[in-house]
Amino acid sequence: MRGADYLIKRTGAALLTVFVAITLNFILFRAVPGNAITALRCLHCTKQFKAALEKELGLDKPMLQQYTIYLGNLAQGDLGTSLVDRRPVWQNLKTPILNTLPMLAVATIVSVVIGVAAGVMSAWRRGTRVDRINTWTALSFYAMPTQWIGLMIVFYVALRFGFPVAGIRDPALGILEEPSTWTVINDRIRHLILPALTLGIGLYGEYALIVRSSMLETLGEDYVLTARAKGLKNLRIVYRHGLRNAMLPLVTLIALSFGYILAGAIVIEEVFSYPGIGLATIDAIDRRDYPVLQGAFLLLTLTVIFFNFVADLLYFKLDPRVTA
């Protein structure tokens, strides 16, 4: 019964947040000066053409009626139509999202593996030179702008080891002959490595600091002191008794961070010209394509809300002390 009450409360809060996010997304893009029609870069568009387009987009209707239509379209999965190519917004965003997700998965794995290893080492060697080096390195990378890390990787890693620094595939691939499946996969991985590495390095510091703090607290518990008194090996104490119980804040942090790094990928994709959701958002800004921009913002917002909801459920599952 306690679990059902918690699930209902968290689901209700998430749905309310979604409704507020959708409403704000509608208001913000209508609060800025001008609208989708005035944003058109068309020197020869007549007033009649602009009036017809305004009617087609429903911008001539009262604001409340526009909001009702907006909610109805969203309920049917309709994010609108691009002003530039007249395609549905979802069609413009689907491929970039699918390009971004593998990069985010690799970046998360990189940041978690390095962060957990550094955090555990710092906690176990607390107060030593290893701890100080790990902590200051984590703080430094955590404080660095991700786009600056990306530029440094381009200068000092990509050029030295021959990794591609732009795009998602080799433009010469498939021109002379049909490439094999392995060739396509290998080319995709080579283009994905540097953006994912940039995001992973930028995030690892956060995970390292959280794991270190949680491990220090856990290693001071009575059951760890008892394990030491029994003569258990240090490695077993750290990983079986310490790390397993220190993982709770890390699991929830990963869920919370995934929505954040999806939005944070925007600047990374601009640095590497990686055709993901971030680059699609920047292109929509440059072309004043308001419907695509509004759809991208809404999807990013809903992603953050969704992973916050997942974090709430994980916290409840992993920590039985959570009751509300």
C-alpha count within 13 angstroms, C-beta hemisphere, residue 86: 2
Residue-range domain boundaries for the chain: 2-75, 90-318
Report pLDDT for 5.
77
Structure tokens at 112: 């978690």
State residue 260's pLDDT score: 62
Coil, helix or strand at residue 141:
helix
Lookup: tokens for 73: 């379209």
Name the band, by pLDDT with cuts 50, 70 and 90, for residue 70.
confident
Residue 324 has pLDDT above 60, yes or no: no
Task: Look at residue 43 and tell me whether its pLDDT is greater than 60.
Answer: no
Whole-structure pTM over 0.85, yes or no? no
- Tokens matching residue 17: 């947040």
CB 304 within 8 A of CB 260: yes
Mean local confidence (pLDDT), 129-138 = 88
Question: Higher pLDDT residue, 136 or 308?
Answer: 136
Q: How much is the pLDDT for 232? A: 66
CATH topology of domain 90-318: MetI-like fold (1.10.3720)
Q: What percent of the chain has pLDDT above 90?
A: 0
State the pLDDT confidence band at 35, using cuts at 50, 70 and 90: low
pLDDT of residue 151: 84
Structure token pair of residue 272: 């590497």
Which residues does residue 81 pair with via DSSP β-bridges, in sequence order? Answer: 88
Q: What is the mean pLDDT of residues 96-109?
A: 85
List all residues 6 or more positions away from 84 whose beta carbon is below 8 Å from its beta carbon. Answer: 287, 289, 292
For residue 254, is pLDDT > 80?
no
The Cα 59–Cα 30 span in angstroms is 10
List C-alpha distances in Å: 91 to 97, 98, 136, 212: 10, 12, 44, 43
- Percent of the chain surpassing pLDDT 70: 78
- For residue 40, is pLDDT > 80? no
Q: Are the C-beta atoms of residues 187 and 173 closer than 8 Å to each other?
A: yes
- Say if residues 189 and 181 touch (Cβ distance below 8 Å): no
What is the rounded average pLDDT of the residues 155-165? 82
What is the arithmetic mean of pLDDT over 223-242?
Answer: 68
**Contact predicate 204/141, CB 8 Å:** yes
Tokens matching residue 76: 């049917």
How does the average pLDDT of the chain come out, rounded?
Answer: 78
Average pLDDT over residues 187-201: 86
Q: Stretch 39-60: mean pLDDT, rounded?
A: 66
Dihedral angle, C-alpha 97, 102, 104, 110, nearest 10 °: -170
- Per-residue pLDDT for 98 more than 60? yes
| Intra-chain end-to-end CA distance of the chain, in Å | 12
